[in-house]
Amino acid sequence: MGMTMTQKILAAHAGLDQVEAGQLIEADLDLVLGNDITSPVAIKEMEKMKVDGVFNKDKIALVPDHFVPNKDIKSAEHCKCVREFAKKNEITNYFEVGQMGIEHALLPEQGLTVAGDVIIGADSHTCTYGALGAFSTGVGSTDMAAGMATGKAWFKVPSAIRFNLTGKPSEWVSGKDVILHIIGMIGVDGALYKSMEFTGDGIANLTMDDRFTIANMAIEAGGKNGIFPVDELAISYMKEHGTRAYKIYEADADAVYDEEYTIDLSTLRPTVAFPHLPENTKTIDEIKEDIAVDQVVIGSCTNGRLDDLRIAAKVLNGRHVAEGMRCIVIPATQKIYLQAMEEGLLKTFIEAGAIVSTPTCGPCLGGYMGILAEGERCVSTTNRNFVGRMGHVNSEIYLASPAVAAASAVTGKISCPCQLT
């Protein structure tokens, strides 16, 4: 029986010719990732293991990014724990403030994730690297500890859903709208335990940043991973950002999929996920009422990349945020920050009345840098709009693209750039 792209990568890393859905395997890991929230728990667990250090100091990435620069004493203690562990174990890829960025934007940029890899990360959005044709998935701290110690992880081989993408997205429609549309269609558990495999000639019309956004939110449909075929664009991205050898795997022609969907990208509209689930989607045309907004966040591992900032700046250029609006822009890495500065995007944001922050996950998970009070509403380019996610349990998050977020900052209500005068 044919294998999916994911199954082929897993089989190769388990030393097997063939695997099938449901099979339990042990796979070799190319990279093990953790952040300042999950690594301290993993480090504590690893100390209980009868092992002498990490399996490979070059194949572990530690990225303090959630509550960094330290938001309080407890966060500082967590970061200190990670820093000391990195030093003691001579971890090559430890990223201190000044070098760090939001992990899932940073690691591909550093060339640490390439096609054909098996990657686990103690962060649910580790699935992002599927954009480059890697198998990558989120795990918890104990799996991270076991991965750091042994270089291996156990997996149940997933079945897959295939999304055949055709056509070209229209203006103001981006990767975020594609994935929100899909989550709205299949639900927050629509891909539970499964791979989301994207195929089709429409992929050629998606930028790398679009693909990172789409793969990033596979977890929001319950997916184990999201994965794209490796094309010229992905290859040139990998060559530009690193030197590691990549390996291209393709799904067999007779691979079996649990379900198949065809999505014509040209028919998609700017899409917004209403509180309190990413599946509660409406297109901009379906939103008839005025929804007043107090805050806009443009950033995160989902939408803090250069394309995202360029789109936001295009909308905000020559305009100003609405009176009383708090608009927070967070470039995801230092490199993106610098590029945005050189391109004049930061000037556009500041002149429009937005603030620009150092890289941090802060507001996305209600850590700091933009917590919501009772009754407040935020349009956010982040990935989750659960109850209390960004602050008070009676606050509301509307998930959207950078284009919609920026337009909403200007009008003070949920808007599309096409509605701006």
Partner 1 sequence: MKAAKGKVFKYGDNVDTDVIIPARYLNSSDPAELAQHCMEDIDKGFIDKVQKGDIIVATKNFGCGSSREHAPIAIKAAGVSCVIAETFARIFYRNAINIGLPIVECPEAAAAIDAGDEVEVDFDSGVITDVTKGTTYQGQAFPEFMQKIIAAEGLVNYINTTQSHADLG
Between 315 and 399, name the residue whose CB sits nearer to partner 1: 399
Q: Is 289 exposed, middle or buried (0-12, 13-18, 19+ CB in 10 A)?
A: exposed
Cα–Cα distances (Å) from 162 to 218, 223, 228, in that order, read 12, 12, 10
Q: Give residues in contact with partner 1 (CB under 8 A).
A: 24-26, 37-38, 40-41, 44-45, 48-50, 66-67, 71-72, 74-75, 78, 121-124, 126, 138-143, 145-146, 149-150, 152-154, 188-189, 192-193, 219, 222, 224, 277, 365-367, 384, 386-389, 393
Q: Pick the closer one to partner 1 by CB: 187 or 353.
A: 187
**Which segments of 112-239 are extended strands (E)?**
118-121, 135-138, 152-156, 160-166, 195-199, 225-227
| Phi and psi, residue 102, nearest 5° | -65, 125
- Give the shortest CB-75-to-partner 1 separation in angstroms: 5
Least distance from C-beta 45 to partner 1, angstroms?
Answer: 5
CB of 358 to partner 1, least distance (A): 18
Closest CA to 316 of 284, 346, 287: 346
Residue placing its CB nearer to partner 1 in the complex, 46 or 112: 46
181 vs 224 by CB, closer to partner 1: 224
The C-alpha atoms of residue 418 and residue 421 are separated, in whole angstroms, by 8
CA angle 269, 273, 279 (to 5 degrees): 105
Of 391 and 412, nearer to partner 1 (C-beta) is 391
Minimum CB separation of residue 418 from partner 1 in Å reads 32
Determine the 3-state secondary structure of 219 from DSSP. Answer: helix
Rounded distance, CA 355 to CA 241, Å?
29
* Cα angle value 47/48/53 (rounded, 5°): 40
120 Cβ neighbours under 8 A, 6+ residues apart: 29, 31, 32, 33, 126, 136, 137, 138, 139, 143, 144, 147, 153
Q: What is the CA radius of gyration of the chain?
A: 20
Q: Which is nearer to partner 1, 187 or 229 (CB)?
A: 187
Cβ 37 to partner 1, closest distance in Å?
5
Q: Using CA atoms, how far apart are residues 417 and 100, in angstroms rounded to an integer? A: 32
Q: Is residue 183 within 8 Å of 220, Cβ to Cβ? A: yes
Nearer to partner 1, 234 or 273 (CB): 273
Q: Which is nearer to partner 1, 319 or 389 (CB)?
A: 389
Which residues are paired to 306 by β-bridges? none
Comparing CB distances to partner 1, the nearer of 125 and 319 is: 125
Tell me the closest approach of the beta carbon of residue 25 to partner 1, in angstroms. Answer: 7
CB of 277 to partner 1, least distance (A): 6
Q: Where are the beta strands (DSSP E) in 74-227?
A: 93-94, 118-121, 135-138, 152-156, 160-166, 195-199, 225-227
Do residues 398 and 414 touch, judged by C-beta distance below 8 A?
Answer: yes
Least CB distance to partner 1 at residue 1 (A): 20
SS3 262: strand
Work out how close the CB of 207 gets to partner 1 at its nearest, in angstroms, rounded to a whole number: 27
By C-beta, is 25 or 418 nearer to partner 1? 25
> Considering the complex, what minimum distance in angstroms separates the CB of residue 188 from partner 1?
6
CB nearer partner 1, residue 309 or residue 361: 361
Q: Are 294 and 325 in contact (CB under 8 A)?
A: yes
Closest CA to 60 of 25, 98, 88: 88
Query: Least distance (Å) from partner 1 to the CB of residue 404?
Result: 23
Reported in sequence order, the residue ranges of 135-294 that DSSP labels E, i.e. its strands, are: 135-138, 152-156, 160-166, 195-199, 225-227, 259-264, 271-273, 281-283
